[in-house]
Amino acid sequence: MALITVRFYSLWRSYLGTDSTTLQADDIEDALAQLETRFGPRLREKLETAGVHLDGKIQDYSLILLNGIALRNIKSTALKEGDVLHIFPPAIGG
Amino acid sequence: MKSNAADKDIRRCVTESAESHVGQDGKAHLVISLKTTASLSSSQKVPAKEVEITALKQGIIPCRYLRNIGTVGLDGQIKLLQSTVAVVGAGGLGSTIIELLARQGIGHLIIIDNDRFAEENLNRQIMSTEENLGQYKVISAAKRVKEINSATTVTTFRERLTGDNAKSLLTGARVVVDGLDNLSSRLVVEQTCRALAIPYIYASIAGFNGQLMTIFPEDVGLSSLYGSSSDIVPEQGIETRIGNPPATVALIAALQVQEAVNIIAGVGAAIRNQILLVDARECTIDRIELGK
What pLDDT, on a 0 to 100 scale, did the predictor assign at position B231?
56
pLDDT along chain B (292 residues), means of 10: 78 94 89 97 96 98 96 98 98 98 98 98 97 98 98 98 98 98 94 98 95 97 83 66 92 98 96 97 95 84
CATH T-level fold of B83-289? Rossmann fold (3.40.50)
Task: Using CB atoms within 10 Å of the CB of residue B246, give its burial: 0 to 12 exposed, 13 to 18 middle, 19+ buried.
Answer: middle
pLDDT band of residue A9 (cuts 50, 70, 90) is: very high
Where do you find CATH 3.40.50.720 in chain B? 83-289
* B276: nearest Cα among B262, B229, A78: B262
Name the residue range of residue A81's domain: 2-88
Residue A9 lies in a domain: yes
Express each pLDDT in A33-79 by its tens digit: 999 999 999 999 998 888 888 888 999 989 999 999 999 888 888 99
Q: Which of B236, B241, B288 sits opposite A65 (nearest CB)?
A: B288
CA separation for the pair A76, B55 (Å, rounded): 59
Chain A residues with beta carbon closer than 8 angstroms to that of B207: 11, 91
Nearby residues of A32 by Cβ (< 8 Å), 6 or more positions away: A57, A58, A59, A64
Which one of B242, B244, B252 makes the best mutation probe of the A interface by having the most chain A beta carbons within 10 Å? B242
- Tally of domains in chain A: 1
Residue of chain A whose alpha carbon sits nearest to that of B252? A94
On whether any CB of chain B is under 8 Å from the CB of A63, the answer is: yes
Task: Using CB atoms within 10 Å of the CB of residue A84, give its burial: 0 to 12 exposed, 13 to 18 middle, 19+ buried.
Answer: middle
Residue A94 lies in a domain: no
User: How far does chain B reach from its first CA to its final CA, in angstroms?
Assistant: 46
* B64: nearest Cα among B45, B81, B40: B81
What pLDDT, on a 0 to 100 scale, did the predictor assign at position B139?
98
CA separation for the pair A54, B81 (Å, rounded): 47
What pLDDT, on a 0 to 100 scale, did the predictor assign at position B162?
97
Residue A93 lies in a domain: no
How do B209-215 and B200-206 pair as beta strands?
Answer: antiparallel
Is B178–A94 a contact, with Cβ atoms under 8 angstroms apart?
Answer: yes
CATH number at residue A21: 3.10.20.30
Residue of chain B whose alpha carbon sits nearest to that of A49? B242
* B251: nearest Cα among A52, A91, A20: A91
* B96: nearest Cα among B258, B229, B224: B258
Chain A residues with beta carbon closer than 8 angstroms to that of B229: 72
Chain A residues with beta carbon closer than 8 angstroms to that of B206: 11, 89-93
Contact B255, B278 (CB under 8 A): yes
A30 in helix, strand or coil? helix
Residue A25 lies in a domain: yes
What pLDDT, on a 0 to 100 scale, did the predictor assign at position B106?
98
Residue of chain A whose alpha carbon sits nearest to that of B182? A92
Chain A residues with beta carbon closer than 8 angstroms to that of B284: 10, 13
